[in-house]
Structure 1
Amino acid sequence: MNALKSICVFCGSSDGNDGTIISEAEKLGKLLAEEEITLVYGGAKIGVMGKVAGSVLSNKGKVIGVIPEFLKLKEVVHDGLSELVVTDSMHQRKMKMQEYSDGFITLPGGFGTLEELFEILTWSQLGLHQKPIGLLNVGGFYDDLLGLLDNMVQKGFLTIENYKLLLVDDTIDGLIRKMKEFRPIPKPKWLNLDKT
């Protein structure tokens, strides 16, 4: 079983127009607080990400926000966090979020959310980390994306082993359970990181 002491959550900086997504974000925040799992996230008070952080904090949990300097605006940054880490760039932000986290959960969001999800999946595929990566498929939000990934497997661009690096569930409890039971695949043989 994986000890998930901290989980990084990727999600939208907008609220969207589906109340179920907000409700699930708040439920996730409550669960993280109750399980004493630290939330690591993008540091904003707006959108779905702000709802997750607010829920963790209102349930007396710990939240670490990581935000690049150029986004550290009064109307964006959450000033009530347990800890706020400011980085020079978006890339440094993602590096820090990965360093602070034992696993990752992606909620609904837009381009930025997908970019974070696929970068962390690629790092796993390359053997740069062996942490569980979860996708919370709220109300079938990611059904089309999962269909695309399946097509990548069918067309030979994605191995089934790498496809299985993405743990998918439509319930929070189910997803957390899959993440705790996750067993990483061996590092790819073609990528010998020990050679100089």
Structure 2
Amino acid sequence: MIDLSKAPGERAAWDRPAWVVYLWGICELLFVTNPWQISSGIRVRVLRAFGAEIGNGVVFRPRTRVKFPWKLHIGDRSWIGEGVWFHNQDHIYVGHDVVISQETFLTTGSHAHRRDMALITRPIRIEDGAWLTSRCTVLGGAHVGRSSLATPMCLVAGLVPANVIISGPTAQVIGHRFPSTTA
């Protein structure tokens, strides 16, 4: 058994002073997580003000969450669906023309569960043109290839090749998204 009162790293991933993290929490609640259909542009501007790198033409729907905007990088014309949660204790890189659909959860953190429960983080990379459909879970260290598609409720971990369709809790390849000449 691990005595959790002695677990290290409660603030290990912050990378900013406490006041910035708390101010972000307030702004996230008012402008990003807010369920009202306020402008996607306002969400993007607030995220950028806190260090997110977000390209042109990005759509950011309501009820989204971003743990640390300074560790979020999104390319041009990507769509972020309602209720997406970027639990990014490490960096998340999203390419151009990527769709991340409703209620998808991306988490870069885990714990040293056999040692002391210290925080362990690994970045996530999603290449151009990929589509993570609704309620997928993407784990730290995942690398989703160009133009790949994850079906609803898929668990995405490790390397997903380019232009494949993956499905289920083991992210089994079930086909190709596009004919190989157009990927």
Q: TM-score, normalised by structure 1?
A: 0.21
**Higher helix share goes to which structure?**
1
